[in-house]
Amino acid sequence: MTRDAFFYYFAYGSCMCPVDLKRSLGESTHAYVLGPAVLQGYRLGFFRRSRLRNCGVLDVVPDASATVEGVLYRLPMHLSDRLDEREEGYQQATVAIHQGDRIYPHVRTYSVIEKLTEEHAPNDWYFNVVLRGAVTCGLSEQYCWRLFHHMHHLQQSQVTLRSA
């Protein structure tokens, strides 16, 4: 493997935040950010409960009428195993990603292996790190608001269920 070997990675959850990605990969990832990008034919959902984070975490689910905005990275190959470790409970998927007029046909992303039947709310930490990554990396304002409202709605539904 050469020093220049790399792979493209599409992040749609907490990994959109380069600071959080650095925490688990062990090196700064800011320089590897190519910018906002779009995954067509999928929608977001919180169909996994993370034991580590003690909350619902994001997943991508096929949906022909939807799109998911996220962050496209060009990561060095030496980070591949560390990224796989971070994405425990997820499996690699190869997808086509759109960034402006360009299509990246062989991009790695991850999807939940054992999807739950109902969405689970994120905790405040996960909520904030996902939004921080979305805003910092330039996802559309409309998408950031949709993401905010979806997470907020899940949290409010969880609170209502607890108090009932």
Q: pLDDT digit string (tens) for 51-104?
A: 888 999 999 999 999 999 999 999 999 999 999 999 999 999 999 999 999 999
pLDDT of residue 35 exceeding 70:
yes
Question: Residue 1: inside a domain, yes or no?
Answer: no
Instruction: Please return the burial class of 66, using the count of CB atoms within 10 Å of its CB with bins 0-12, 13-18 and 19+.
Output: middle
CATH of the domain at 114: 3.10.490.10
Total domains in the chain come to 1
Given its phi and psi angles, is residue 145 left (phi above 0), alpha (psi -120 to 50 degrees) or beta? Answer: alpha
Cα–Cα distances in angstroms (integers) from residue 108 to residues 79, 97, 147, in the given order = 13, 9, 22
Per the domain annotation, does 135 fall within a domain? Answer: yes
Within a domain: residue 112?
yes
In a domain, 149, yes or no: yes
Give the tens place of pLDDT for each residue, 104-154: 999 999 999 999 999 999 999 999 999 999 999 999 999 999 999 999 999
Range of the structural domain that residue 125 is part of: 6-163
Q: Could you tell me if residue 85 is inside a domain?
A: yes
